[in-house]
Amino acid sequence: MAALQTIRSKGALLLIIIGVALFAFIAEEFVRSIQTTTNERRQVAGEVCGKKITSMEFQRMVEDYKDALKFMRGNSTFSEQESAQAEDFVWQSYVNYQLISKECEKLGLTVTDQELQDELNKGNNPMLAQTPFINQEKRFDVNALRNFLTEYQKIQSNTSDVPEQYIEQYTTIYKYWKFVEKTLRESMLEQKYQALLANTILSNPIEAKQIFEESAQSSDIIVASLNYRSVPQDKIKIEESELKSKYNQLKERFRQYIESRDIRFVQFTVEASDKDKKELDEEMAKFSEKLATSDDPVSVVRMSNSQIPYSGLWTSKQAFPADIQNKLDSVSVGMTGPYYEIADNSENIIKLFGTIQAPDSIQYKMIQVGGATIENTRKSADSIYTALKNGAIFDSIAHKYNQQSPEQWIASNQYETMPNMDENNVKLFNTLNTMGANEIRNIEFENGNIIVLVTDRKEMTTKYNVAIIKRPITFSKETYSKAFNNFSHYLASSPTMEELEKNAVKNGYQYQMNVETYSNAHFINNIPNTKEALRWLFNEDTKEGDISPLYECGDNNTLLVVALNKIHKKGFLPLEEIKSNVEKEVEKDKKAEYLIKETKIQSIADAKAKGLAIDTLKGVTFSGNTFVPATGALEENINGSLANRKVNDFVGPIKGNSGIYYYQVIASNKDKEAKYKEEEQMNIARSQHIRNVQSFGSDLFLKADIKDKRYLFF
């Protein structure tokens, strides 16, 4: 009881203590929740129609697309520019699909598995022609796809007896196919939606007849012109209210779909000094001597740090840089160089070992032979090879060893640019290059054998066995360090935009002003490796007037500093930012009013008497866009006024882009060979309407409230 009484006496205090503890617990959970939400928000690379895509999801989509490109091109590397193009393509495709799929969901439009299968059975879609499942007529073969998928499932269920290289090849093809399948399904859905939209557009015989007559009819006219430049500037006074009125009238023209920022920047590109060039010349002379005398050119080229690796592979000219391609046309077997190449500022040495005539594309089958020991492997391979030479069927022997032996084509560009090609691959491809059609070879490798049958060859071309040492003329660490210190000193003495500009001239740097940069850009002023500078530029904490840190960018040879001059948010640009554009439009209106009031032209004769410029224009049509020599402008308003005009009709004044115009019709011409076909003309009219409603994509884009935050990650 005493304890209970004590608790009662301290009740208020206990409630406070418990309340504080409970609040602390809730607050901790609240803070943790905020942190989690904030972290998730930080990982968002974009948003479409309220649907967020994380940086990891987007990166995975980009990698899938790049893997597909690698497979199609046979190229495993991407430049920064190519990677940026891939990211933009994936983002735009993602946005377009999200916009369309949302509308399709409302309408109940889908692509069923059966519809996809029907598309595969027809095999007409251009995407399918880019797959390896092609028959002799170069058409997609759905049976070849089925056979591949069946074989892939067998390999997946039992990988122990399948060579690793074989598994890798099948996995690569399977991933590519899944990418094509996904893209095909999305494309079919978009086509469904577009077809539905197109079928809502109708035409009628009256409209079709009118369009035909307008297209078959043309007029010759005499045009009198008064250029806006003829109006004295002191006759034009523009009020602020007029600017606001014109701005509201043309407001849609000034819509900005994504955020941009005006920047000022200084960049300095470090170049090699005379001392650096002399040291490279000495190095190249030594490597030239080594390459000329060495029995191991692979090692010499590797030690030289050449930009072009050498493996001994017979290689077509197209696999080399353009300057080397041009040189190969004229070099003889033996040594060439060192020589300077101005195209890429490099020193070069070429050693040509020889040339052969080889196919650009090879169709082949193969059987991979393994065994418990290398001796058993060699015996099995010899037995298979002997049986095949004696007439055994290749596919039957392949099945005996639990292997498929599909005919497959390989083109030069699929393997010649492979990085770090090992000796086994060089041996395989060099063998294929030197085999004739229907020839069989037993190729020995360190850990096994491959039996190869070449079934067809196409497009014979010259291939080269050539070792190349290409070294760019670059600066030394000492040269770069000196340039870096000088640039750092310049920045330290320039804390404001005004000083950044003033001190640039003193230090021999070029100060560049008011370059507009958008949030979906990948580079600043097309300078490579400026991602960090872009992240700084579009960071929410970066304010107008701020100056960035020093960035080392370009091809590791550029020093850059950026200053933020002006922020342009997504949406309508304010009047003060585009005031000069609006003033030009108001000025044009006022000059047109002034000229019309002052001239009061009643006829072409009247126009000539008052000194207007005169042009005779032939073949002017209602749907065209007329060029008037006197003002040097295209004036579509003249064309638009031609409807139902007859010979001798006098028309004007017409307010144009560069002046006011009056004209008289002097001849009416009709295309006598044009024949009216109602159905054909109705289709033409319908097509014009469809083009006019294609702006629906812009409407969807605006409603989707798209947020592109890729610059934070990529």
Domain that holds residue 65: 51-198
Residue 694 lies in a domain: no
Predicted local distance difference test score (pLDDT) of residue 557: 93
Token digits of residue 323: 């300057």
Residue 86 lies in a domain: yes
**Where do runs of H (alpha helix) occur along 600-648?**
604-609, 636-640
Residues 6+ positions from 60 with CB-CB distance below 8 Å: none
Residue 540 DSSP label? T
> Which of these three, 569, 586, 613, is where a domain ends?
569
Q: Are residues 466 and 483 in the same domain?
A: no
| Residues 51-96 pLDDT 10s | 999 989 999 999 999 888 888 887 778 888 888 898 989 999 998 8
Residue 497 lies in a domain: yes
CATH of the domain at 664: 3.10.50
Q: How far apart are CA 243 and CA 583, in angstroms?
A: 7
Predicted local distance difference test score (pLDDT) of residue 80: 84
| Positions in the chain short of pLDDT 50 | 1-20, 22-24, 26-38
Q: Are residues 285 and 237 in the same domain?
A: no
Q: Are residues 285 and 375 in the same domain?
A: yes
Residue 476, amino acid: S
Residue 302, SS3? helix
Predicted local distance difference test score (pLDDT) of residue 679: 63
> Which of these three, 472, 493, 509, is where a domain ends?
472
- Percent of the chain beyond pLDDT 70? 87
Predicted local distance difference test score (pLDDT) of residue 42: 66
Q: Are residues 281 and 419 in the same domain?
A: yes
| Residues 128-150 pLDDT 10s | 988 888 887 778 989 989 988 98
Residue 680 lies in a domain: no
Q: Are residues 61 and 164 in the same domain?
A: yes
Residue 595 lies in a domain: yes
Q: Are residues 337 and 358 in the same domain?
A: yes
Predicted local distance difference test score (pLDDT) of residue 570: 85
Residue 682 lies in a domain: no
Token digits of residue 137: 């007529």
Q: Are residues 135 and 181 in the same domain?
A: yes
HEC sequence for 387-406: HHHCCCCHHHHHHHCCCCCC
CA distances for 187 relative to 93, 100, 110, 111, 181, angstroms: 10, 10, 11, 10, 10
Q: Are residues 604 and 556 in the same domain?
A: no
CATH of the domain at 404: 3.10.50.40
Q: Are residues 542 and 589 in the same domain?
A: no
Q: Are residues 486 and 456 in the same domain?
A: no
Q: Are residues 355 and 457 in the same domain?
A: yes
What total number of domains does the chain contain? 5
pTM: 0.64
| Residues 647-677 pLDDT 10s | 999 998 999 999 999 999 998 887 666 666 6
Q: Are residues 393 and 306 in the same domain?
A: yes
Residue 168 lies in a domain: yes
To 5 degrees, how large is the angle CA 428–CA 431–CA 434?
A: 150
Predicted local distance difference test score (pLDDT) of residue 17: 46
Residue 675 lies in a domain: no
